[in-house]
Structure formats: structure tokens, C-alpha cells
Amino acid sequence: MKTTHHNPTRMKQLVTLSIAVFALASCGGGKEQSIEDLIAQGNLEAIRVRKSELSGQAKSLEGQLRQLDSAIALLDTDENYPLVSAVEVQEETFDHFLELQGDVKTRQNVLIYPEMGGILEKVYVKDGQQVQKGQLLATIDDGGLSSQLAQLRTQEALAQTTFERQKRLWEQQIGSEIQFLEAKASYEAQQNVVKQLESQLAKAAIRAPFTGIIDDVIKDQGTVVSPGPGSEVFRIVNLSDMYIDVEVPERYLSSVTEGKEVKIYFPVLGDSLSSKVRNTGNFINPNNRSFNVEIPVPNKGGAIKPNLTARVSINDYSNAKALLVPQSIISENAEGEQYIYVADEIEGGSRAMARKVIITTGQTQAALVEVLSGIEAGDLVIKEGARSVKDGQKVELLN
């Protein structure tokens, strides 16, 4: 017995041709008037009737073609499925970072002013010099105060000798108590005068308020200086205690806290480093609804300078068991719901069915999106070809 193999595509063509011939034959047994002749006659009613007839025939043919397509899909085992790639979703750590911009600052960046007026007698440092706290930077002509201090110290020594003698005599019950008290008061008064002049004379010496670098020697030796604005002598900075000041929107008040991880990038230097949030402000700026965050900046090489611009990425959210999918495969329907396709009912390790899944998304970082609901760990999410498949369509998995 001979077995005949039917080609489904050939079958579809034959059936389509048969339907068309039947439709034309059913229009009438006689010779049908051509479209050109009908239009040439200009009979509007006849033209409308013919159009209505042809439209009905076209709809009938379309319905029959759809039925044939469904039959072919079921019978044709050699049909080519769309090629797609899929990735298995696994739980992984997801860290979201808030991107902001800030400026490098230091609290030890000050102008040094003289505390007394006079001629800048001597400058002991130069630009860029490293100095220690308390180091002598310059001296101002004291106008004879040092000579006065020498005389006062001599008077103080005499008052001390007189007081000590009167004290010994008083202890031996010699002399009067009033003489002892007068000598004591004179000595103490002389001590106070010396201390006051010493304090005033100390203002003639300009010293470093902290350890740092002389950034600028503003006044030259021999210049007349005086206390107050406009008479600054030095600028001194400390580059070892630097920090970045960042303004963070108030909605992140509960997520940006002390100890949070921070990634810092300096565009000008082309350098990156890591740090942590050291302090968060307790005041919300009413003008821009933000609060200040302080981030320490290690500066071992000294390359980071005050007012340098930095890009700051602050970790404001973390999930140790996140399900992540590429942002490029997520679509949205007319109702605003987001969806992706997963591969189900895998046959022979390569063929599967595409299933549309409505998902709820969370945070986004770079090209990845956190999926909060809709899929589970182990699901095969269609990646390449996700935009071209349909719900319920069979697909061929590349991987």
C-alpha cells in the first residue's frame, strides 16, 4: 500500500484557490460585468452594490484563511519557531546608589590675622611649607614692649624678695601683720602686671593654629599690619582632614544614614575612592527641602584640594535576595502594567512556550531592575527576542 505525504503549505494554497474560484462562480451563472465597465457607466447604486458583495467575499475568505493557519500550526511538525535566548533568574545581592554631586571642604582652611599692629619684622615660612601647630610663622615689631617687660620683671623680683623676707619674719613673730600683707599684695600685683605684658607681647609672634601647609604668604616682610579685615598675613590649610559636603533630598532621610557605603569619583583627577557617611544633618533646608551629609575623604597623597568637585554615590538601599532582570526586556501594556516573558513547558531541552507575566518592579541600577513580584528564583526569563514573541507562542531556546 502506497503512503502519501501531504505538504501543509501546498494544501493551504490549493484550498485558497478553490475558495476563490467558488466565490467567483457563486456570483452568477452568466458573464459578470467587469469593474471597469461598471465604473464607466457611472451608476452609483450599482457600484455600491458591487462593493458590498466583494467586501462580504473578502471577509469570508479571511475567516477561512485563519482557520487554515490554525490547522497548519497543529499539523506542521516542521514549523520554524522563533529563536530566543533565556536566562535563569537567581537570588543575588542588589545595592542601589543615590547619585549626587558635592564639593570637597576642610574645617582647617583659615586666614591668619595679626593680633597687634606694627611692622611685620620677620617672616619665617614660605608658600607650600609644612608647619606644625604652634610653630612661629612671623614676628611683629613690639614697639619697645620687650624692654618694658624686662624692667617689670626686675621689679617683680624685688617684690618677691621683699615678700619672702616679710613672710619669714612674720613666721618668727617679728614685725607686724600689716607689713606682711602689704609685701604680699605688692608682689601679687607685680606678678599680674608682668603676666599682662607677657600676654600682650606674645601677640607680636604669629604662630600656626594647627598642623598644615602654608598655602599663601599674603604680606611681605616690612609691611605695616594691624588687627582686622584686610590685614591677613597667611593662609594655612590642613589637607589631611578633608570631607565632602552633599545636599540630599529629604525623601532619603531614613535611607541615607551614618555608616552607609559611599563611592566617590573626582572627574578632574580621574580617580575614585570609597568612604562612608560620617554625619547627617538634623536640619531640613526649607529652600530646597534637603539635608546635609558629611563624607570623610582620605587624602594620603595630598592630591585632593578644597572646593574640588566630586560625584558621590551613596548606598540608600540593599537587598541580599533580589531577583534582577535587564531593563530592556520589560514592556508595558495599555493599563500601565509592566510585563516580561518566561519560558515554560520546555520540550526536549530547546523548545518552550512563551508566557506573559505581569511583574512589580522595585529599584533600578544601571541596566538592571529589581523584580518584587511575578517571578521566582529558577524561572527562565526570555532575554533576546523578548520584544518579538507573544503570549502562548512556542519558541526555540538558543541556550
159 burial level (CB within 10 Å; 0-12, 13-18, 19+): buried
Of the candidate CATH numbers 3.40.50.2300, 3.10.28.10, 2.40.30.170, 3.30.160.110, the domain formed by 98-107+238-318 belongs to 2.40.30.170
| Structural domain 110-237, CATH architecture | Beta Barrel (2.40)
Specify the pTM.
0.56
Q: Cell digits for 76?
A: 506542521
Which residue ranges in the chain fall short of pLDDT 50? 1-30
- For residues 124 and 136, is the Cβ–Cβ distance under 8 A? yes
pLDDT at 310: 95
pLDDT at 79: 58
pLDDT digit string, tens, across residues 279-288: 998 999 999 9
pLDDT at 276: 94
pLDDT at 202: 82
pLDDT at 299: 84
Q: Cell digits for 47?
A: 457600484
Q: Cell digits for 186?
A: 605688692
| Strands 394-397 and 83-84, bridge-based pairing | parallel
pLDDT at 14: 42
pLDDT at 236: 92
pLDDT at 370: 94
What are the extents of the domains in the chain? 8-75, 83-94+320-397, 98-107+238-318, 110-237
- Strand-pairing partners, residue 206, are 138
Q: How many CB atoms lie within 10 A of CB 126?
A: 8
207 Cβ contact list (under 8 Å, min separation 6)? 134, 135, 136, 137
Give Cα separations from 235 to 131, 213, 397 (angstroms).
12, 9, 69
pLDDT at 17: 45
Greatest pairwise CA separation for the chain in angstroms: 164
Q: Does domain 83-94+320-397 have CATH number 2.60.120.10?
A: no
